[in-house]
């Protein structure tokens, strides 16, 4: 018997027709210096690394806890560039502010940072999210729509993509023909694909009156796994939309738009 989604989970299968909540853009002055040459206050580097607040960073500096290029720095107001090596307790700190961006990916965009053969990439959609160089966490196929997270936080990205963390993902699947109850139960029990056994964490019909629409919850990060599950059973996926990723939803985020994560969302991702 198939596992049913809870009310909150099932609610994710509604179409996204809400208005844009994209953050306002800020006009920034162009610097005559190259990004690699820009000077940043040392306490800001420490704060951006998530060690503490700027005020607390000043205390660390005065106490001789911070070294720059092997030299202990105790003067407040000291500035460094991204080329300098800043170390606190044997940990190298990044001068870049951590950025977390959520995109509702439209169809036709390739999930890649740099592909000369791709006409449209997801990076074009988030190019105004800031000066920091961000990367997509995982990937969505060119024809798959839905939630895609970007960040420059390598530790969090690794946590969200590693199979051992089992981050929940929910997809809204549109099929070419009605999905049989027996096949639904089979997906829940598990099937054997060419690269191993796979079972859904949960699966149900999105609308009991439309058997061509299925909601599937899965945590596997295998390539094209959802499409391959249904293809194995003789179905063709007409449309595929990721509506839930690691606790994040598409609420108030129209297709093709992005937003910054809230502090609460960032904290949840790091703690869960």
pLDDT digits (tens, 9 = 90+) for 134-188: 999 999 999 999 999 999 888 888 888 877 777 889 999 999 999 999 999 999 9
Burial class (CB in 10 A: 0-12, 13-18, 19+), 137: buried
Any catalytic annotation for residue 141? Answer: yes
Integer Cα distance of 98 and 122 in angstroms: 19
| Active-site pick, 141, 153, 183, 201 | 141
Is the pLDDT reported for residue 215 higher than 90? yes
DSSP 97: P
Is the pLDDT reported for residue 249 higher than 90? yes
* Per-residue pLDDT tens digits for 158-172: 888 877 777 889 999
In order of their start, the domains of the chain are: 35-93 (3.10.290.10), 98-166+252-272 (3.30.70.580), 168-245 (3.30.2350.10)
Integer Cα distance of 123 and 175 in angstroms: 29
pTM given for the model: 0.71
Is-contact 179 212, C-beta < 8 A?
Answer: yes
């Amino acid at each position: 018997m198939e596992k049913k989604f809870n009310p909150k989970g099932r609610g994710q299968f509604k179409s996204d027709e809400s208005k844009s909540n994209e953050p306002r853009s800020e006009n920034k002055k162009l610097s005559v210096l190259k990004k690699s040459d820009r000077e940043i206050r040392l306490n800001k580097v420490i704060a951006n690394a998530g060690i503490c607040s700027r005020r607390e960073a000043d205390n660390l500096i005065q106490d001789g806890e911070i070294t720059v290029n092997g030299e202990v720095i105790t003067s407040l107001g000291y500035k460094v560039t991204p080329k300098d090596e800043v170390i606190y307790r044997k940990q190298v700190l990044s001068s870049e502010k951590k950025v977390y961006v959520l995109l509702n990916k439209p169809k036709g965009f390739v999930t890649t940072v740099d592909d000369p053969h791709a006409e449209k990439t997801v990076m074009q959609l988030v190019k105004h999210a800031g000066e920091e160089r961000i990367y997509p966490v995982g990937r969505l196929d060119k024809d798959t729509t839905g939630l895609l997270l970007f960040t420059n936080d390598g530790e969090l990205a690794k946590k969200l993509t590693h199979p051992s963390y089992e981050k929940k993902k929910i997809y809204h699947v549109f099929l070419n023909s009605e999905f049989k109850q027996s096949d639904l139960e089979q997906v829940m029990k598990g099937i054997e694909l060419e690269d191993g056994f796979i079972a859904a964490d949960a699966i149900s019909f999105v609308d009991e009156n439309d058997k061509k629409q299925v909601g599937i919850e899965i945590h596997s990060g295998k390539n094209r796994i959802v499409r391959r599950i249904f293809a194995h059973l003789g179905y063709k996926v007409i449309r595929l939309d990721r509506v839930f990723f690691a606790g994040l939803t598409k609420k108030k985020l129209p297709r093709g738009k992005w937003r910054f994560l809230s502090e609460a969302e960032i904290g949840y991702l790091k703690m869960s």
